[in-house]
Structure 1
Amino acid sequence: MSLDSQSLQQLLFSFQGRVGRRTFWIWNLCYYLSIVVFIQLCHRLVPGLAPVLIPLLLLVLLIPDLAVTAKRWHDRNKTSWWLLLNVPLVIGRMMVPGAEDDMATTPTLLDTGATLLALLCGSWILIECGLLPAVEDNNRFGPPEQG
């Protein structure tokens, strides 16, 4: 299932099938670039609404991000249950202090533990989904991505 062989709707909203590393990286580039651009626009155009609009964008992008990542796990012949590694990342994003918070405070043991857990989970996702090759033949999730 490459960007060419499936519709954008299937890519972003279906949890069925497989995508390769190329599609996974293209999605992540678009995902993070759109977040950075949106954050910059919010802070420049509507700074008072940024604390509300940015989490809304992340919520809107959550399903597409999980769908693409699930298909990448499938490409590695692993189930969508591996998406649970994203939970510490989501919690970690919510724990990031805002500009109005005092950045001089010392992180608690819970903050440090959550950060380390998010780092470990994110690293595992990066290695498995971003760096390791696909199962080359058909697997229980379908044929490999063409392209």
Structure 2
Amino acid sequence: MSEGSTWAIADEIRAAVQRWAYLYNTDVHRMIDECYAESFHVLCPGLLEITDKAHFHEIEQAVLDADSTRRLHLTDVVAADDRVVVECVLRGGGTRQWETFCCAILTFKDGQIINDHTYLDRTQWPGLRDHLREMRQEDE
């Protein structure tokens, strides 16, 4: 692969990450449907693991229910081949302002995410763990 084509792929992935972040902030359900491949894996160590879109929609709706003001702010994007490391800050409001730094390692195939490993400090996101725990109990 020539250097020029490597840069072109990196630019395409950066554009895909910009779209992913934009949709996360504006229409998370479109983000799931349009940015993630049909076969994918999302892992937030110590918090959750997702492998199907229906479950992903439920989780993200729970996140919105916990704090509809939450927003993702990209701080750095490093792309190499089909992978990208995204450094970002999640901020929300609701009853009190909060923020947590996070890092996502995304793998793309045909312009869609097939692997998403996101690391964040969930203790800085008020109510998130409790809301997800309640949701799991409802499923049982």
TM-score normalised to structure 1 length: 0.23
Structure with the bigger percentage of helix:
1
Higher relative contact order structure (alpha carbons within 8 Å, sequence separation ≥ 6): 1
Structure ID, larger Rg: 1
Q: TM-score, normalised by structure 2?
A: 0.24
